Structure 1
Amino acid sequence: MTVWDRPDPPTRPAPLDRERIVAAAVALADEGGLAAVSLRKVAARLDVGPMRLYGYISTKEELFDLMVDEVHAEIVPDERPGDWREVLRVRADRTRQATLRHEWLADLLGGRPYLGPNALAVAEAALAALDGLADVDTVMRAVETVSAYTTGALRREIANLRAERATGLSKREWQRASGPHVTKMLATGRFPALAKAVYDGTEVDAETSFATGLDWVLDAVAAKLTPPPT
């Protein structure tokens, strides 16, 4: 029986429910990342004994599942946009915004599908937008491809934010500090393509990079969408 199917235990003194538990866990993760989350720490945040939580959640993995679904409520579209491309774009953009608010989400995206009601609603919206535009296998690969791009791009963006905090250097400060080494290596002539990218390429911010890559992925998906035979 999954955590979604298991009922809450009977109410006791100091009322407790999964909603309060998950809210406390999300707050801890927002403050200190997933490493800051444990059933013991959540119980302390709620001022209850750790054993109380086991009536609602069996493992930390179940707690993570609940936390991810809680954040997916921020990704569910408010209303269905006009076409499939806009549906997938909105999904990616809302996932990015949710991840920037809850950086720990980047560590849990991908892998097996999440089965909570909010995650299922997000998946349903994406699949429904493409329904009828191609055979079901093509539709599934299209959604998976956009999801894979989104996950990879967000993990890279969050990794850069964490590196800035860990080193105390902004991106430009890090570039200036690394500049002499990069200049010396490029001057060897061993990396001509990289030198061209460094000296002639246009630097863009994370939001622009994400949007551009997403457009390219959506263009590739569009080329694969051919209605199934009737």
Structure 2
Amino acid sequence: MSADSEREVALRIGLAARTIEGIDIREFVGALATYLGVPLTPEKLAKITVDDLHKLLKGDDAHDEDADRLGLKQAVRYLWGQDIADDGAPQAEAYCEGEMPGSLRVAVASNSGEQLDGHFGSCARFLIYQVSPTAMKLVGSRATRGADAEEDRNAARAALLEGCQLLYVQSIGGPAAAKVVRAGVHPIKVPAGGAGREVLIRLQQALQAPPPWLARVMGVEAQSLARFGAEEEAS
């Protein structure tokens, strides 16, 4: 099987696993391999049905819940190679580099619209904002589907944050956070999530303080930035 086919298989399985609550990706791959035979190929994945996936994951005697099967239907579409385009991303606003002096570039982990509703390791995209004390623009959206096909998913996701100073997420594990920090980005957890722009309004207000989190950009007293992150997580 070609490298392109291997990446396609990994992408389809990764997206499918994201839609199934509580699934372990390694167990999912093993179950598919047992059911379809190895090597897994795009052609084999395209033959699986919702009933097949239901029996594979839930067993023959599992209760048939409508909500559960809706999730499995979406998973099957991903396994077939459908619905992979990042159609849910909001439209970016026009922006020219340098037009917002004193601004930060901020990533927001998101699954829908402009919501901060994503976990670092499973969000569908990172929304990229340029934020100054008086203005805010959505300047881009970076889909994570390609990163999920890489061997080191966390490192690939961290690489998507290039150019950003801050990352807002609902949650992020320790090893993943370390890779984000090594990429030069400071992760800030907001477990409650919410509308991305409303969360960033708090950042705008703090930028007028003067901004302790600019410490990372200016190279002074990084502890002040960490303190801001702790305060955000506690709010």
User: Structure 1-normalised TM-score?
Assistant: 0.27
Structure with larger Rg: 1
The higher relative CO (CA closer than 8 Å, separation ≥ 6) is in: 1
Q: Which has the higher strand share?
A: 2
